[in-house]
Structure formats: C-alpha cells, structure tokens
Structure 1
Amino acid sequence: MITALVSAFLFVHGLIHLTVWLPHDSTEQPFNPRHSWALASAGLPQARVVSQAAIALASITAMLYVIAGAATAAQSSGWTAAAVLAASVGLVLKALWFNPWLSLGVLLDAGVIAAVATSWPGSLY
C-alpha cells in the first residue's frame, strides 16, 4: 500500500511539472512560466532560449520523477537516487523561475529530499 502511494505521488508530482511549464493557450495562469526573475536580474533577455530552458528543466524533472515512481513500483533501490535528482532539478527550476504560486512545489521537492535522507517510509528500504 505504501509503495503504491509513494509511486503514485512521484508520478503525479512529476507530470504536474509538464502541465505547468509546457506552453498552452490558456492565459489564465497565475504566473508566467516563461519569465525568470533570476535570469532577468542577471541581465539576460527573456528570449526564447530562457523559455526553452524552463521547458527543458521541467521535462527533465518530470522524466526523473516518473523514473523514480517506476523504480518505486518495481521495488528497486534506485528510486532514491532518481527521486533526489528529480527533486534537486525541480528546486533549481523553481528557484530560477520562482513565483509564490510555486511554493507548494518547493515544499514537495524539499520533502522528497528529506524523506530519502531520513529513509522514510522505512518499508521502501
């Protein structure tokens, strides 16, 4: 039961990155995922390259979370490395393109790292 819940969480959290960061027609987003406050502060123009970097980081994060979820479902010990990598890339993404709407995602990524660091839940180890 715990394995299935953790695996589902990792899958869903990863796939949510794609729904937030991939381009869509809706203009009702609470923030602009194409604008990086950090890169703008560094003097980099908010060009297509910045948008592509956001999409690339979100895609990598999603892929790593899906791998972590699949490894968890398969009860492979490699899930921990994939989960920590996914959370780390996700934190970099959210730091460079931060908006208060992403706070829950930051907490979830930090929680994944904390869970792996403390070997929680124990039944997965």
Structure 2
Amino acid sequence: MFNNKFDMETTEIKIAFYSAYFYRIFDLLLISENLWNGIGERPYSFKFIPIAINDQIIQDQIINSRLNNGTMTVTESIGEYDNIDQLMAENKLENIIIENKKLNKELGDNENEQSSTNSINETRTSTSKETTSNN
C-alpha cells in the first residue's frame, strides 16, 4: 500500500493517464467478441477507488473481523476508529448506551434495551477478567 502523499498523487496521475488505454482495450475486446458494435455509449465504465479510501476499507475490515472473532472489545474498536485512548472510548461508549436507551424508550422498545446492555456488559466483564488474569 502506498502511504506517502506523493505516491498517492503519482497513482492518481497514472490512473488518469492509463484510463484511455483501458477503455480502448475493453472496447476492442467487446467488439471482437460481438458484445458491442462500437457505436454509441459504452456498455461498461471504470470506477477506481482512491488509494486513501482503500486503507480505510482495509482497516474497517480488520476491526470488524476482530470484533466478530472476539479478539477486540467494543471500546478498543471505538479507540481505533476515532484514534482516542481507552478512557475516552469508554466514555463515548457510555454516551452511546445512554442515547440508545433514550431512543428505545421513545420508540417503546424495552426488549432491545436489555439485550444491548447485557451484551455490552458481558464484553466489559470479559475484558476486565482478561486484564486481571494477565496481571
């Protein structure tokens, strides 16, 4: 992955330069396979994902898989996404829980409130047990 600003700019320039060649190659391929007659609008298009977004997508997939595997807590994931320390992440999680409770009360959904609170408390409890056992 390119993480340098100049590498990203170079990549964008290369994409812009080679796009015409990509279109021409696919035009010829579709014409030779009788899938398009070469007249009118192309039946395809290219959309390149910017390299900066690619890094964010990969980070998101890693964090989601770690959450699903149970190798990361909710507060750790909040800290990774928002680039904050553990205490701030815990405070943010508490605020999220409070907001969810308010929304659930407004909507009259008490069952979801209990299940979401229990799952978050279980996550916190398992984290504290792991920390205690490691010490």
TM-score by length of 1: 0.33
Give the number of the structure with larger relative contact order, counting CA–CA contacts within 8 Å between residues 6 or more apart. 1
Which structure: greater helix fraction?
A: 2
TM-score (norm 2): 0.31
Larger radius of gyration: 2
